[in-house]
Amino acid sequence: MSIGLFYMKIRQGMHAWHQAGISIVCALAIAACSDATPTEAPVIACDNTKLGVERTITVTADTGSIETLLNDREVVLTFDDGPDPRRTLPVLDQLDLQCTKATFFLLGEQADRHPDIIREIGRRGHSLGGHSWSHANLPTLTTEAAHGEVSTGMDAVNAALSGTGATAIMFRFPFVATNAELSADVREMGLLEVGVTADGADWTKNRPEASVEMILQKLGLAGRKGVILLHDPFDKSDERVSLLLSRLKQDGYKVVALGSAETGQ
């Protein structure tokens, strides 16, 4: 069975059990962990002490705002600016420890240098998107140059995923900076633009505790739900995500994963 089909089957199982009111997300994730990472990663005991994944939203270019699809205390985890050869894998390990899934928005030039990390992100069941080729501030470029940043960035991510069965169809603008013309162009390219509800200002090199408090405050202001942004390539990225996940669990938040129907990822 392909990994994509395997995860599809897990999701179908998750849905059925969820309907029955039984939380078995993590029990199924045990199988996912042991299948997807047969040698190097330990099998995690994914019981209800872990954050897990509540449900998956299947996205297309026409999905619209993710925030409007979330219920009370539901969050989507996202990471920007990777992949990073030293810091992305420790972030993936922290996500595995809480049996949860995120979406990674990747830079084309980094994807080009580290395609193996892109594949590892997909192999561990996370979804992927583009974040431009070089993290340019797209509204400051000509329309053509901005289009090129988006398309070459997506091409690099998808080249890294070639042969895995996964395709990246989500995009986040660098600095979350866009305008009506650019957003329309991205939609016409068949991509779903994903925004941000709550960030931890981790680019300021603030302490993980401060970052996490900021995220929780912003979620509170947004009606206790939303899309969370952190960055995987930063110093203390793994500490920051570890703390965030335990606080989300403590505060009763549930993680919603984003997936693509086309690829089962």
Taking the complex as a whole, the smallest distance from the CB of residue 211 to Zn ion amounts, in Å, to: 15
Taking the complex as a whole, the smallest distance from the CB of residue 233 to Zn ion amounts, in Å, to: 10
Half-sphere exposure of 46 (CA within 13 A, CB side): 26
Q: Assess 80 for contact with Zn ion (CB under 5 A).
A: yes
Contact set for Zn ion, span 120-159 (CB under 5 A): none
Q: Assess 202 for contact with Zn ion (CB under 5 A).
A: no
Q: Which residue in 97, 7, 94 sits closest to 56, CA to CA?
A: 7
Region from 48-56, 59-67, 72-80, 183-191 binding Zn ion, contact rule CB under 5 A: 72-80
Taking the complex as a whole, the smallest distance from the CB of residue 174 to Zn ion amounts, in Å, to: 5
**Interaction mask 173-192, Zn ion, x per CB under 5 A:** -x------------------
Burial string for 190-206 (b: 16+ CB within 10 Å, else e) reads: ebbbbebbbbbebeeeb
- Where are the alpha helices (H) located in 178-254, listed in sequence order? 180-188, 208-221, 237-250
Closest residue to Zn ion in the complex (CB): 80
**Interaction mask 3-42, Zn ion, x per CB under 5 A:** ----------------------------------------
Q: Which is nearer to Zn ion, 136 or 166 (CB)?
A: 136
C-beta atoms surrounding 123 within 10 Å: 14
Taking the complex as a whole, the smallest distance from the CB of residue 154 to Zn ion amounts, in Å, to: 15
Q: Which of 54, 81, 193, 202 binds Zn ion (CB under 5 A)?
A: 81
Q: Assess 54 for contact with Zn ion (CB under 5 A).
A: no
Taking the complex as a whole, the smallest distance from the CB of residue 81 to Zn ion amounts, in Å, to: 4
- Spatial separation of the C-alpha atoms in residues 81 and 132, rounded to whole Å: 9
Q: Assess 232 for contact with Zn ion (CB under 5 A).
A: no
Task: Give 107's contacts (C-beta < 8 A, 6+ positions apart).
Answer: 81, 82, 131, 132, 133, 134, 135, 153
Q: Which is nearer to Zn ion, 122 or 174 (CB)?
A: 174
Distances (CA, A) of 13 to 56, 65, 114: 12, 26, 33
What tokens does 18 get? 């969820």
In DSSP notation, 8-24 reads HHHHHHHHHHHHTT---
C-beta atoms surrounding 133 within 10 Å: 22
Region from 43-51, 56-64, 172-180, 245-253 binding Zn ion, contact rule CB under 5 A: 172-180
C-beta atoms surrounding 12 within 10 Å: 10
Taking the complex as a whole, the smallest distance from the CB of residue 130 to Zn ion amounts, in Å, to: 11
Residues that bind Zn ion (CB under 5 A): 80-81, 174
